[in-house]
Chain A
Amino acid sequence: MNSAPDPSPLKVLIVEDSLVTRRLLRTCLQKWRYEVEEAEHGAQAWEFFRHEHYPLVLTDWLMPEMDGLELIRRIRGCDLPGYVYIILLTAKSEKEDLVAAMDAGADDFLVKPFDPDELRVRMRAGERIIALERKLAEQNRQLREAQTALVQSEKLASLGQLAAGMAHEINNPVAYVTNNLAVLSREVRAVMEVLQAYRRGAEVLAKADPSLAAQVADLEEEADWEWVQENLPRLFDASLDGLSRVRKTVQNLREFARLDAAELDELDLNAALTSTLDMLRRELDEKQVSVSTRFEPLPPVVCRPGKIHHVFLNLLLNAIQASPTQGRIELRTAADRDDAVVEVQDYGCGIDPAHLPRIFEPFFTTKAVGQGAGLGLSICYGIVRDHGGSIDVDSQLGRGSTFRVRLPFRIQPTQDPNR
């Protein structure tokens, strides 16, 4: 073990019924800066495992209650949070015994009485395996995270298309229904006025044609004239209110960029860019686009990491799409006073100067209908803006584009990205 102090010493569980051997082992292991726990037999050790995880176990074979092999079988038989490296301590050194031990799931063994030097190298071998296993688990976790981010961004994109399509489909009927209702309201008011005028002649009618007057009175009663007169305006108003709510709902759907509320966290932008690049490996390879990076060391940025990943993903995807086959993309980071600056430069088709002022506008797209909702950059813009940063672009048609994102290292207290 290296003499440099390890921030978190490896936890080792000694399972041994002999007090002397236990103490000997403990002395050695503590000298090498392991954190040591002792159990007198397998059953006690198994009990310990219910409360705590031990990445490394040194166990005797023959013990009362539960022997070493049974403990090993139990550890291997259940789903523990990480790998357990098990060294079996034994006086048995026959080949059949060792095969039985390895078969049960022991990783290594040490013959008693043990030699401290041998114990040391076997512990080290175990540590190497544990380190590898942990690295693998971490990479796995990152991969899962990256996949989740990708799924999320795709979900956002398809939701954007859905919202845009829906807005268009709903717009026309809502437009004429609203209008018809306004027309109806006006015409019904006119009809009511006409009726009121007739009603003023009720007395005349009663004298001139009593049977018709009675018929009118019946009809009025059946229709509940007073109620109709009183409630018609309210019916129209309520319906118009309802329609304006439908309109608002459609509008709200469009502001989907703020659908998810992510937590604030510190993010290493350089690492984030690297992992985004890894995510886009397939797209890069497909077009044989090479990426050169020039990262300055940056303090962590307080942000909503998922959203910033989303921005980088979009900018890099755009750069890849703009690049020709075997093209080149440059990725730079730098610290500029209170801001982190990220630049994504491609040497691709560039942006038409006429389009340049509008590329961050929602629904602006140069792609054919159905190929892109024109929301990618507008979402990026919204995210960066909500973080108190800025995004801009330099572009020359046929020469390429440089997108520049500035993010303050500390989000301003007045800014709430989930507003």
Chain B
Amino acid sequence: MSKTKKHPILLVDDEPEILYSLQGLLRREFELYTAESGSQALEILQQHPIHVIMSDQRMPEMTGVQLMHRVKTEHPEAIRIVFTGYADIRAVVDAINNVGLYRYITKPWDPDELIEVLHQAAARYEEIVARQRLLEEVREYVQRGQQFVRELRQRGPDDQLAGLKLDELETQGNALLPRLQWAISGGGVGGATA
């Protein structure tokens, strides 16, 4: 991501004063979207590419963790952060394991630390997107290789040794493709898990 473009970040809290306050803090460094409820947040996620979503835990109707469940399945590329008062930490610690939260931030937060965490989260998003792109490029490359191997074999290999090499390459390629597919779709360490 170039310096000129700001990372889009979605802030979710049922208390407008908090949203207003965060906007003041973050407006210079990030492109900000705000929502006062989980459902409103999901709507915004439909309309805009969001890199990082940060939500309060304690909200009526949908809690922060419940929202993150939806985000994980519907927008797995978005980095997820929950911020919370002390008494809710337990729920959020659970969520780190179950919903793949990148971080949680306690209320009241330290302003400098919050900015730092959001930058780290944005960098994490970049990493994941870059890795995703790399994986897709590698898959494309392997697919083209497989195609080429098949063509070579149809033409008939020059000698027995070359034939064996082609067999080996095709076997390896066949084993790699499903693993690449799995990694691209967010399997294993994929997604936004820290």
Binding site for B on A (CB under 8 A): 164, 167-168, 171-176, 178-180, 182-183, 187, 247, 254, 358, 361, 363-364
User: Given A171, A180, A182, which contacts B85 in the complex, CB threshold below 8 Å?
Assistant: A171
Most buried by B among A183, A187, A358: A183
Q: Does B188 contact A (CB under 8 A)?
A: no
A192 to B86, CA, bound (A): 37
Report yes or no: B87 in contact with A167, Cβ–Cβ below 8 A. yes
Report yes or no: A180 in contact with B24, Cβ–Cβ below 8 A. yes
**How far is the CB of B60 from the nearest CB of chain A, in Å?**
13
> Would you give the 0/1 interface string for B80-97, flagging 1 where the beta carbon is closer than 8 Å to chain A?
000001110010000000
**How far is the CB of A246 from the nearest CB of chain B, in Å?**
9
Find chain A residues with CB under 8 A from B21 CB.
175-176, 179-180, 183
Report yes or no: B111 in contact with A167, Cβ–Cβ below 8 A. no
Report yes or no: B111 in contact with A172, Cβ–Cβ below 8 A. no
Binding site for A on B (CB under 8 A): 15, 17-18, 20-22, 24-25, 58, 85-87, 90, 107-109, 111-112
User: Given A168, A175, A183, A364, which contacts B108 in the complex, CB threshold below 8 Å?
Assistant: A175
Find chain A residues with CB under 8 A from B90 CB.
358, 361, 363-364
8 A-B interface contacts by CB (under 8 A): A167-B87, A168-B85, A168-B87, A171-B86, A175-B109, A179-B24, A179-B109, A183-B21
Report yes or no: A178 in contact with B111, Cβ–Cβ below 8 A. yes
User: Given A176, A178, A182, A363, which contacts B17 in the complex, CB threshold below 8 Å?
Assistant: A176
Report yes or no: A171 in contact with B107, Cβ–Cβ below 8 A. yes
Find chain B residues with CB under 8 A from A183 CB.
21, 24-25, 111
Most buried by B among A176, A180, A187, A358: A176
Main secondary structure of the interface of A (DSSP, over half): helix
**How far is the CB of A378 from the nearest CB of chain B, in Å?**
12
Report yes or no: B25 in contact with A179, Cβ–Cβ below 8 A. yes
Report yes or no: A182 in contact with B25, Cβ–Cβ below 8 A. yes
Known: A168-B87, A364-B90. A175 touches B111 (CB 8 A): no
A175 to B17, CA, bound (A): 10
Find chain A residues with CB under 8 A from B111 CB.
178-179, 182-183
Find chain B residues with CB under 8 A from A175 CB.
18, 21, 107-109
**How far is the CB of A253 from the nearest CB of chain B, in Å?**
11
Report yes or no: B15 in contact with A172, Cβ–Cβ below 8 A. yes
Nearest B residue to A254, CB-CB: B86
**How far is the CB of B100 from the nearest CB of chain A, in Å?**
19
Nearest B residue to A358, CB-CB: B90
Find chain B residues with CB under 8 A from A358 CB.
90
Find chain A residues with CB under 8 A from B86 CB.
167, 171, 254, 363
Report yes or no: A174 in contact with B24, Cβ–Cβ below 8 A. no
Closest 8 A/B residue pairs (Cβ): A175-B108, A182-B111, A176-B21, A183-B24, A179-B21, A171-B85, A175-B107, A176-B17
Find chain A residues with CB under 8 A from B18 CB.
172, 175-176
A178 to B109, CA, bound (A): 8
Find chain B residues with CB under 8 A from A364 CB.
90
**How far is the CB of B98 from the nearest CB of chain A, in Å?**
12
Report yes or no: B85 in contact with A179, Cβ–Cβ below 8 A. no
Find chain A residues with CB under 8 A from B24 CB.
179-180, 183, 187
Nearest B residue to A180, CB-CB: B21
User: Beyond the given A167-B86, A179-B108, A254-B86, could you list 14 further A-B residue pairs with CB under 8 A, ordered by the A residue number?
Assistant: A167-B87, A168-B87, A171-B107, A172-B15, A174-B108, A176-B15, A176-B18, A176-B21, A179-B24, A179-B25, A179-B111, A247-B108, A361-B90, A363-B90
Find chain A residues with CB under 8 A from B25 CB.
179, 182-183
Find chain B residues with CB under 8 A from A168 CB.
58, 85, 87
A174 to B17, CA, bound (A): 11
Most buried by A among B18, B107, B108: B108
**How far is the CB of B85 from the nearest CB of chain A, in Å?**
4
